[in-house]
Amino acid sequence: MSSIEFDHISKSYNQNRVVDDVSLLLPGSQTTAIVGESGSGKSTLLQILNGLVVADEGKVKIAGAEIDYDALPSIRRNMGYAVQGTGLFPHLTIKENVTLVAQLAGWQRTELDERYVSLLSFFGLDDELSERYPHSLSGGQQQRVGLCRAMMLDPPLLLLDEPFSALDPITRESIHEEMLQLIDGEKSILLVTHDMQEALKLANYLVILKDGKVVQQGAPDDVANQPVDDYVARFFGGANA
Ligand code: ADP
Ligand code: MG
């Protein structure tokens, strides 16, 4: 039930505004897809929400409260983050990667093991991967491990940055089905994707970013039927073909 509010958020790198006056009000228990071409500021928006990056201007609120940068660990416990390109710790085993946050949160061993096993099976991963290190896994397996890690504490808010991009089409399809079960629940999900098919399938709200600006937002059908410009229309060209 974690609503998210971006209130006139801007962020520049080297005089270059990569997030430009973004205002969004996303109610809780909603799956929002953020779609935009590479470099449009999608990952930066998630990083601002996670507190990894601090905006130059504007306010960010999660569940009505402005981010308290002195309390990031507790804020992050309620927020699973699947980093673009997996971001697994190379020196930790798969099991250590997934369960680290639960260890830090002081979970009991049995509770931790049970959650771990159920996540592996949810994402179709074999338990024989547990003692291996990330480099020995395929990109698609690493991505699924990243999803397990993001979901370990069963957080109410999930930030997913192109989480399915390295999966083969068949695995992607089956994980979409698993995700739909989650989405039917209470979770608030921010899904960054290039893939409009995926956005239409999983999300009930669409935000289209271009050059750090929100060019259109709304219900997926409304955006599909009335794209404001060619940039937005192009994303649907592929989806409807
Ligand atoms: P997207 O996820 O939509 O591809 P990003 O948010 O990663 O876009 O990046 C938006 C722009 O900001 C890009 O031009 C990128 O090169 C730039 N950028 C992102 N992070 C940094 C950084 N840490 N330092 C300098 N430039 C950055
Ligand atoms: Mg990105």
Angle between helices 139-151 and 94-104 (to 10 degrees): 10
Model confidence pLDDT, tens digit, residues 217-237: 999 999 999 999 999 999 998
**Tens digit of pLDDT for each residue in 59-112?**
999 999 999 889 888 888 899 999 998 789 999 999 999 999 999 999 999 999
Atom of ligand 1 nearest to the CA of 192: 2
Q: Using one digit for the tens of pLDDT, what is the confidence trace for 162-219?
A: 999 989 999 899 889 888 887 777 899 999 998 899 999 999 999 999 999 999 999 9
Which atom, in ligand 1's list, is nearest to the CA of 14? 25
Average pLDDT score, the chain: 93
Label residue 239 by pLDDT band (50, 70, 90): very low
Atom of ligand 1 nearest to the CA of 84: 2
pLDDT, position 73: 87
Q: Flag whether the pTM goes above 0.75.
A: yes
Q: Report the side by side order of strands in the sheet with 79-82.
A: 79-82, 157-161, 188-193, 31-36, 205-210, 213-218
Ligand nearest to the CA of 42: 1
With a Cβ cut-off of 6 Å, ligand 1 is lined by 13, 18, 36, 38-44
The tens digit of pLDDT for each residue in 41-63 reads 999 999 999 999 999 999 999 99
| Ligand 1, atom 13: closest residue by C-alpha | 39
Q: What is the mean pLDDT of residues 18-28?
A: 96
What pLDDT digit, counting tens, does each position of 115-135 carry?
A: 999 999 999 999 999 999 999
If one residue of 6, 18, 53 were mutated to test the ligand 1 pocket, choosing by the most ligand atoms within 8 A of its CB, it would be 18
